[in-house]
Amino acid sequence: MRQSIVFLAIAMLVAGCATGSSVVMQGYNFGAVDKVAVVEVTGANGNRVAQNEIADRLAMELFKRGFNVIERTQIENVLEEQDFQATDLTSAVGAVEMGRILNVQAVVIANVPEMGDRIAMTAKMVDVKTGSMLWMGEATGKSGRGIGTVTGALVGAVAGGVTGHQIDDDVGGAVGGIAGGVAGGVVGHALEPGVRDALRKVIRKIAEGMPSKLARVYR
C-alpha cells in the first residue's frame, strides 16, 4: 500500500507541470479592440464538450484582460443562421469572415492536437480588419493519465488482495487481487478530472502571454 501511495504522489507531481511561450505584435493598440470572439477550437480528440470548455476558459481569460467577449451560444447561432461550417473557421480567412459577421475586432482560434497523457495546445488572435496575427501562444502539460492507470491497478490489486485474503484462503486472495487490479485499472484509467485539471493549467499558462486591452500598446 505504501508503494501505491508513492506512485500516486509521483503521478500528482507529473500532472502539475505546464510550460509555454507566446509572442505579441509589437506596437499594436489593443486598447482599440472592444469585442473579441473565440470562434473555434479544434483537436481535443474531437470531443465537443472539451472543445466548448476550452473555448469558455479562453473567453474567461480574455474577459479578465478587459475585452468584451461574444458568448459561445451566440457564435453557434450565427454559424447555423449563416450556414457556416465549423471547418470553415479553422482557416484565418474563415475565422476573419466570421469575425466580420459577429462585428468583432479580433477573433481567437485554438487547437489541441494532443489531449491524453500529454496535453498540447496552441492559440492565436487575428485582427478581423487586416487579417494580421496579433498574438500566438503555445503550451504543453502532463495529465499523469498513464501513471494514474498503473497506480489505479496497483491500488486495486493491493486492496483486492487484502480483501480476498480476508474472505477466503490464498486462492481467494489471488482472485481478489486480480479482480481488484482490473477494477482499479478501470478507475485509474477514467481520469477525466485529472485531464481536465491539467488542461486548465495549460490554458492558464498559454494565457500568461495573452495581450490585454488594459495594456493598450505593446513595445
* 12 located within any domain: no
Q: What is the rounded distance in angstroms from the CA atom of residue 137 to the CA atom of residue 175?
A: 51
Range of the domain at 31: 18-144+192-207
Q: How many domains does the chain have?
A: 2
Residue 66: Cβ within 10 Å count: 16
- Burial of 218: CB neighbours in 10 Å, binned 0-12, 13-18, 19+: middle
Beta bridge partners of 29: 217
Across the beta sheet with 133-142, the strand order is 18-24, 133-142, 118-127, 106-115, 35-43, 68-69
Pairing mode, if any, of strands 118-127 and 68-69? unpaired
DSSP E strand boundaries for 66-205: 68-69, 106-115, 118-127, 133-142
Is residue 4 domain-resident?
no
Residue 8 in domain: no
Q: Are residues 182 and 111 in the same domain?
A: no
Reported pTM: 0.69
Residues 114 and 202 placed together within one structural domain of the fold = yes
Specify burial of residue 201 (Cβ count, 10 A radius: 0-12, 13-18, 19+): buried
Task: Give pLDDT tens digits along the chain (219 positions).
Answer: 544 433 333 334 444 577 988 899 999 999 989 999 998 898 988 888 888 889 999 999 999 999 999 988 888 888 888 777 666 676 778 888 888 888 999 999 999 999 888 899 999 999 999 999 999 999 999 876 544 433 344 344 444 444 444 444 554 444 444 344 434 433 333 337 778 888 889 999 999 999 998 776 666
